[in-house]
């Protein structure tokens, strides 16, 4: 079975990883080798889509160090897994759109106005 895994990175970190020794979790190994393969050895992991927001240094308890560590982790996630053609795709563009308040040049205020019908 061809499979795409979707990960909510924010909740993964704050619910499981923050207070553990496993901050640099290898998502590919976790899903392909520990979860999917044990359920169905014929599973073909196509992609892992990882959604999160970037850490803002001015709000983080460790400042720029937290932001830099997150960026290093994201770069590691984006690298193809050794010997595999599967990698994690970060969905940062969507969060950047949320942060700027615009999607395709249209402000969130205009979008809400259109949804509410006036």
CA gap 34, 29 in Å, rounded: 7
Domain extent listing, the chain: 2-116
Whether residue 115 is predicted with pLDDT greater than 80 in this model: the reply is no
* Residue scoring higher pLDDT (88 or 53): 53
The pTM assigned to this predicted structure is 0.63
Q: What is the pLDDT of residues 8-51, one digit of tens each?
A: 888 888 888 788 887 788 888 888 888 998 899 999 888 888 88
For residue 98, pLDDT beyond 60: no
**Residue 96 in this model has a pLDDT that exceeds 80:** no
Contacts of 22 (CB under 8 A, 6+ apart): 16
């Amino acid at each position: 079975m061809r499979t795409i895994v979707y990960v909510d990175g924010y909740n993964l970190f704050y619910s499981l990883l923050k207070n553990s020794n496993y901050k640099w979790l290898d998502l590919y190994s976790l899903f392909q080798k520990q979860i999917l393969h044990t359920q169905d050895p014929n599973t073909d992991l196509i992609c892992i889509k990882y959604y999160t927001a970037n850490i803002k240094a001015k709000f983080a308890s460790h400042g720029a160090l937290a932001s830099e560590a997150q960026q290093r982790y994201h770069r590691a996630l984006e690298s193809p897994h050794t010997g595999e053609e599967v990698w994690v795709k970060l969905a940062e563009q969507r969060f950047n759109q949320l942060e700027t308040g615009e999607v395709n040049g249209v402000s969130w205020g205009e979008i809400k106005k259109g949804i509410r019908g006036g």
